Structure 1
């Protein structure tokens, strides 16, 4: 496989690659072998011109008149996103949302694994809940190191998120997915993505109202 210079891929393009990969993987499971940018645009709601430009940063991925080979695109995007490399994930905040995420445990990607969960509630610390031993946030740095954690998912409420994220950053973790909508302060070398469920729901409702005749995935 080609050795891609990932630093030259624009950030906007990089953010869309998981969207492409997710939808292409679904198409592959349905037996679709090739696709054109117009078809992928209808599915992802990303303009076909943008898709072609995104793909151009990665070399010659398709052929004029033929389109793109679905399985080849999956291989390319998987390599770029390192989705073939096993990554251990920790969840901090083991309330209802944390439990739901843990129980899902990335069933579509065997290389993403939730290895441990953390909380500050003394009522659940030390207990095994839905198959997960609940560790104290006081032990985060040690446990994260022992279990080789690379990514943290935070479901901690906004009022406590900064303190929790500080503990995570102090442990050396540089990749965080935060379900609290309020921004937190982090060093420049740390990557963080915010998932605001209210915003996501409003976006979904907007597309449901205004794109009734388009069968598509709502863009992320």
Structure 2
């Protein structure tokens, strides 16, 4: 059953996990309240942007007081479903995929890679960093068995669309795509693409132009 949630800009949604992370830091330092300016200085985000982001969720703070840290932390914990762990599958266990498997979102995350697939893995599976890795030919069967709704693509670019097509009709609702190619999917499968080369070029441009 879907919850009633406010419609907020995508840029704001991307900042929500950052707010949660920094609020945890303030909470761990025993801060009872925090101002938008304090958050701004810690996160390097304009305070007006923070106040605007928070305004999408109603009155989270009080003028002249700021924000109650435990209350705000609890609010974002529920908003981000931190109590409900997301089971993630990794598709493609090359260099980048192996790095993901070893990291595996260990602390302060509500996501965990529980299974992985690769064309070079044995059919019966193997274990890498405590994660079972199966051959891609049994992917659909195992995705259902493990209750997977989110997958990470770290596979070769040439195979990305083909694998995405295979996921149509499965329980997968989202793809975090680390390949540099655009992926076309039906509306019921969301795709978020992170092109590392584009991100790097953007950073280089900003450095050289002092943006």
Smaller-chain TM-score bracket: 0.7 to 0.9
Question: What CA distance in whole angstroms lies between the structure 2 residues aligned with 1:183 and 1:43?
Answer: 34
> Where does structure 1 lack aligned partners over 5 or more consecutive residues?
212-220
The alignment partner of 1:149 has SS state of coil
2:72 maps to what in 1? 73
| Other-structure match for 1:37 | 36
Equivalent in the alignment of 1:108: 107
Contact in 2 for aligned 1:85/1:111 (Cα 8 Å): yes
Residue aligned with 2:64, SS:
coil
Q: Tell me the alpha carbon deviations over residues 116-142 of structure 1, each in whole angstroms, 9 at most, x when there is no partner.
A: 000112569733233332212221121
CA distance in 1, matches of 2:30, 2:73: 13
Aligned-partner SS, 1:193: strand
- 2:19 is aligned to 20
Deviation, structure 1 residue 185: 0.5
Partner of 2:63: 64
8 Å CA contact 2:122, 2:135 repeated in 1: no
Unaligned runs of 5+ in 2: none
1:140, 1:168 within 8 Å by CA — same for their partners in 2?
Answer: no
Structure 2: how far apart are the matches of 1:145 and 1:79?
27
Instruction: Check whether the contact 1:140–1:171 (CA below 8 A) recurs between aligned residues.
Output: no
**What SS does the aligned partner of 1:79 have?**
helix
CA distance in 2, matches of 1:183, 1:78: 32
1:89-134: CA deviation from partner (whole Å, max 9, x where unpaired): 1100011111111111111236322110001125697332333322
Q: How many residues align?
A: 208
The two structures, once aligned, show a CA RMSD in angstroms of 2.4
Question: What is the SS of the residue equivalent to 1:107?
Answer: coil
Higher mean Cα deviation, 147-156 or 110-119? 110-119
**Counterparts of residues 188-199 of structure 1 (less than 5 Å):** 188-199=187-198
Q: Which residue of 1 aligns with 2:149?
A: 150
Aligned to 2:85: 86
Distance, in Å, in 2 between the alignment partners of 1:140 and 1:49 is 46
Distance 2:144 2:121 in 1: 23
For residues 12-69 of structure 1, the C-alpha deviation after alignment (integer angstroms, 9 at most, x for no partner) is 3222212222222233334433221122223334332221121112121111112112
Change in 2 beyond 3 A, CA 1:7/1:120: farther
**Which residue of the partner structure matches residue 48 of structure 1?**
47
Q: Shift in Å at residue 178 of structure 1?
A: 0.8
Query: 1:124, 1:134 within 8 Å by CA — same for their partners in 2?
Result: no
- Choose 47-56 or 117-126, whichever is displaced more: 117-126
Distance 1:163 1:9 in 2: 32
Equivalent-residue separation in structure 2 for 1:130 and 1:21 (angstroms):
28
| Cα separation, 2, equivalents of 1:7 and 1:45 | 25
SS at structure 2 position matched to 1:62: coil
